[in-house]
A = this chain, B = another copy of it.
Amino acid sequence: MSSNTIVLLDIPCVVEGRAWSPNTWKTRFALNYKGLPFTVKWVEYPDIAQACKDIGADPTGTRADGSPSYTLPAIYDPSTGRGIAESALIARYLDKTYPDTPRLIPAETDAFHAAFQEAFFHLIQSKMKIMSCPTAAQLNPPSEAFYRKTRETIFGKRLEEISPEGTVRETQLKQLQEGFTKIAGWFSMDGNDKLFFMGNTISHADTSVAGWLMWIRQILGRDGPEWTAIQTWDGGRWARYMQYFEKYEVASI
């Protein structure tokens, strides 16, 4: 590992050395797919803003009170001195800075990737109520408290009340399934069933889908009843999808 090794800022969980966030998983997949070595700097939720400022990464949004919002993933690349946050911006940066690595957002799909992001938010990211409690339980205390407070403010109820066992939770899981089934349909619109968005080649859209599936699998448990159900959705598509991504789960260094 040279002093030019990329640093990935990631959120830790109760399992040491294990990533917790669906969004940082996207960048892990991206770096591993490109074969770019990286080290990890673990950052608890309350420290994310300062850590991003320290590497010169711009905020990724604006809070309700107008103040800047900082999120992970972020990377720091010593070879250029740049700090960048947000998985799509990072993918574009890596494509540009390391042109000899496989491209994640080919030019002709650049605008389409932004459209994908919008659709993915509506179909999947906004349908994640089932994750609220189990995901909080896997965070370390400082992050758990931060996560609980922000989510309880958004939903206007206690974390434990967002997805209670029974018909409420079953309906939420069904809505998530509908989102994935819609996306599954996208892979064969022209009659050719594809494994990935662009066919046989991974793109940023695929690392996004895989990142969120990784999170779901890890949090709900590989042998849990809900992940077991998800593996049967859409003719087993998502089980195959994650099987393919296995080789990009572990960092190359």
Q: Which residues of A contact B (CB under 8 A)?
A: 88, 92, 96, 105-116, 118-120, 122-123, 182-183, 185-187, 189-190, 192, 194, 197-199, 205
Which chain B positions have C-beta within 8 A of A107? 190, 192, 199
Contact status B115-A190, CB under 8 Å? no
How many subunits of this chain does the assembly comprise? 2
Which chain B positions have C-beta within 8 A of A108? 106, 108-109, 198-199
Per DSSP, chain A at the interface is helix
CB distance from A204 to the nearest CB of B (A): 11
Closest chain B residue to A123 by CB distance? B118
Given A88-B189, A92-B190 in contact, is the A115-B119 Cβ separation under 8 Å? yes
Closest chain B residue to A191 by CB distance? B92
Interchain Cβ contacts under 8 Å between A and B, 26 examples: A88-B189, A92-B190, A107-B192, A108-B109, A108-B198, A108-B199, A109-B109, A109-B112, A110-B189, A110-B190, A111-B186, A111-B194, A111-B197, A112-B113, A112-B116, A112-B197, A113-B189, A115-B115, A115-B116, A115-B183, A115-B205, A116-B119, A118-B118, A118-B119, A119-B119, A122-B122
